[in-house]
Amino acid sequence: MNADILKRLVRAIGEGAHEDLELLAKKVIQVERDTGHQKLAGELDRIFARARSQGASSTPPTLRELPSSRRNRELLVSVTPRDQLEHFMVLPPEVEERFARVEREYAARERLSAYGLRPRKRVLLHGPPGCGKSLGAKRLAWNTTLPLMKVKFDALLSSYFGESASNLRTVFEAAKERPCVLLLDECDFIARSRSTDRDVGEAARVVNALLQFLDEYDAPGILVATTNVEESLDEAIFRRFDDVFKVPLPGDREIEQLFRTTLSAVKISGQIDWATVIGSLKGLSAAYTVKAAQDAAKAAVLVGRKTVEEEDVRLAIDEIRRGKSL
């Protein structure tokens, strides 16, 4: 190998300069190709592409690699560090299975593609607030080891003609370059996309662009969109996603499990009548259930009691119910 490449290679390894190493790998492949070693160059090319798509999934993108708007270089996405990805979820078994299937298909993506099959890559989560749509995206990122890239709609939407759509294109192109879970959180306008009003403003342009990018989406990672708006989900939406499913309110089993796991660090009185607790939390979101359990535990800890009593639980739930009805 050429002495100059060897020196640069050793220096880049010494400095841990990842980007230089990538450039050098490409250079080595090119040199082999230029010297007539086509077979070796082809093989190196394939090894590089495979290693890159596998390695990239676990390393978070650097700031420089994140998409930003052309006008003021504002970041168009935010990345959640892996150690901040909340991922424990309590779900009814059939919903747990829907999430797990997306994860299994992602893990088996190469085996599937050998048969000409595509893993589920575009997922729409819908359902009532506070039941785990945003959390579901984090969990998918955690279990696939993909970085979570959340689109910042406030930065993306611009008042300049056509700029929002071009920002959106930048985001989708970035997701192609580097595998990630691309999260379009609370994009209710997806569900409303079929509204009959003939809006021709910037908002309508971004919806149209989004629908088109969804149609064409073929990035190496997973796209997750979430919405609370369920009534207008229709065929046109279902067609654009590989999987659409509801993250529902917790049922009896889930309420008890949420309550118990939230209280797992403290002792719970054996006197608690779970049927009553479940009954009084029915219809509330998972987020409220977690909050009720935390409030009950805090009340006990604050008065120096080692055990959470039925009264703590009752008061915490009553307070949440009162707050909800205000």
Ligand X SMILES: Nc1ncnc2c1ncn2[C@@H]1O[C@H](COP(=O)(O)OP(=O)(O)OP(=O)(O)O)[C@@H](O)[C@H]1O
**∠ CA 135-137-141, rounded to 5°:** 115
Stretch that binds Mg ion, among 23-31, 130-138, 240-248, 265-273 (CB under 5 A): 130-138
Q: Which chain residues interact with ligand X by CB under 6 A?
A: 86, 89-91, 129-135, 186, 226, 228, 258, 286-287, 290
CB of 63 to ligand X, least distance (A): 25
**∠ CA 200-201-207, rounded to 5°:** 85
Question: Whose Cβ is closer to Mg ion: residue 134's or residue 167's?
Answer: 134
CB of 318 to Mg ion, least distance (A): 26
Cα–Cα distance measured from residue 174 to residue 180, given in angstroms and rounded to the nearest whole number? 9
Question: Whose Cβ is closer to ligand X: residue 169's or residue 321's?
Answer: 321
Question: Whose Cβ is closer to ligand X: residue 19's or residue 86's?
Answer: 86
CB of 120 to ligand X, least distance (A): 20
CB of 292 to ligand X, least distance (A): 12
CB of 179 to ligand X, least distance (A): 23
Residues 251-270 that bind Mg ion (CB under 5 A): none
Question: Whose Cβ is closer to ligand X: residue 95's or residue 214's?
Answer: 95
Residue 129 interacting entry, from Mg ion, ligand X, none, C-beta within 5 to 8 Å by type? ligand X
Residues 107-126 that bind Mg ion (CB under 5 A): none
Q: What's the sign of the alpha-carbon dihedral 137, 57, 178, 45?
A: negative
CB of 254 to ligand X, least distance (A): 7
CB of 285 to ligand X, least distance (A): 7
68, 69, 134, 262: residue in contact with Mg ion (rule CB under 5 A): 134
* 167 near Mg ion, judged by CB under 5 A: no
Residue 68 interacting entry, from Mg ion, ligand X, none, C-beta within 5 to 8 Å by type? none
Size of the site for Mg ion (CB under 5 A): 2
Residue 228 interacting entry, from Mg ion, ligand X, none, C-beta within 5 to 8 Å by type? ligand X
Cα–Cα distance measured from residue 153 to residue 270, given in angstroms and rounded to the nearest whole number? 48
Closest-CB residue for ligand X? 132
Residues 58-77 that bind Mg ion (CB under 5 A): none
Instruction: Note the residues at the interface with Mg ion (CB under 5 A).
Output: 133-134
